[in-house]
Structure 1
C-alpha cells in the first residue's frame, strides 16, 4: 500500500524516534513492504518511518537507480531497524540532496564519506557494517530522520536563511509533489 509522505513542518519529523522490538512489532514485514512501495512510487532512494508518520527507528534504502555506480555484490535494497551510526570518517564531501518530505527542494549538504553502523536487518539479524560514498550519504540522510532532523538542518546558515520562505511554504501546505503527501496543516 502506498502511504502518504509527511512534509516538512509536520511534528513527527522533529521527534526523536524510539527503538522497537522487531520480533514483536505488529505487521513489521507489511510496513517494510509498504515503505518500499511508497518510496518506489515517489522516486526516492530512501524513506524513514517518521516520514510516514511513525516515530520509530526504521528506515529503508533502495539504490537500484544508481546500481551501476556501486561496488559489485552490494545489496541495493536494505532495511535498518534500531540503527546506530557509531563512527564517521573519511573526507567531508559536499553533495546536493533532496528529500521526499521537502519535494522540489535541493541543497548542498556536507557529510562524512564513511560510516560504521549497527542495526537489525529485515530478517531480524544484527549487523555491523561499514559504508562509504553514496550509500553512506543516503544512510546518514535517513538516519537523521530517526533523530528528528531534516537535511536543511545541515546546510550553511546563510543558505538556510535564503530558503526560509520555501520552508515556510511547506508548513502552510504550499507544495507540489507527484506523490501522496500529508502537510502540517
Structure 2
C-alpha cells in the first residue's frame, strides 16, 4: 500500500547531492517508491516531485501537472514516472516563470527556463520514451531534473528581489 512520505526541505544535505543512475528495471522496490512519490505529490498539491525530495538519491521523478491550489491554471496530464531523465534538445527560447517547490515551502521565485524541450526517460518497465514538452510541463521537467543534480530553484533566480513569499506571489498572480 502506498504511503505519504516526508518531504526534505532546503538545508537537507540530500537535496544538494547528485542522484545515482538507476541500472536495474523493472524493480519491484522502485515501483513501490514510484507509488509513494505519486501519493506524496498529490497529498502536497504538487505538480512534480523528485526522489531525492523524499530521501532516495536516485534519478527518478514524477511529473503530475494538474490544477491545484498552488497552480490553479496548470494543464492536466496523467502522473508520469520518469527514470534516468535527460534533456536531448532545447528550444533556446527562454521564458520567465514563477516557481515554487515542496522542498522550499512558502517561497516563489522567477526562473528562466526553456519554453520547449525534447526529453528522454525510461518507464518503470525499462522502455525508452522520447517526447517534446512545452510551457508549464517543460518547466516542471526542468525543475525536477535540477533536483537530481542537487540544484534548487532559488539557485536559478538571478535577481534576489525575484524571490518572494508565497502570499505575495498569490497577490501578484491571482489578485488575492
- The TM-score bracket by the shorter chain reads 0.7 to 0.9
CA contact (8 A) 2:25 2:124 kept: no
| TM-score, structure 2 normalization | 0.82
Asked if residue 137 in structure 1 is aligned to residue 139 in structure 2, the reply is: yes
Q: 1:15 aligns with which of 17, 23, 33?
A: 17
Relative to structure 1, the CA distance from residue 135 to residue 35 in structure 2 (aligned partners, 3 Å threshold; closer, same or farther) is same
Separation (CA, whole Å) in 1 of partners of 2:160 and 2:133: 30
How far is 1:152 from its partner? 0.6
How far is 1:9 from its partner? 0.8
Relative to structure 1, the CA distance from residue 101 to residue 113 in structure 2 (aligned partners, 3 Å threshold; closer, same or farther) is same
Q: What is residue 64 of structure 1 aligned with on the other side?
A: 66
Number of residue equivalences: 160
- Structure 1: where are the runs of 5+ without partners? 167-185
Q: Please state whether the residue corresponding to 2:115 is helix, strand or coil.
A: strand
- Where does 1:143-154 land on structure 2 (aligned, <5 Å)? 143-154=145-156
- Structure 2: where are the runs of 5+ without partners? 166-176
Q: What is residue 32 of structure 2 aligned with on the other side?
A: 30
CA contact (8 A) 2:74 2:136 kept: no
Q: Taking CA–CA contacts closer than 8 Å with sequence separation of 6 or more, which of the two structures ends up with the larger relative contact order?
A: 1
Asked if residue 79 in structure 1 is aligned to residue 81 in structure 2, the reply is: yes
RMSD of equivalent CA atoms: 2.3
Separation (CA, whole Å) in 2 of partners of 1:53 and 1:47: 12
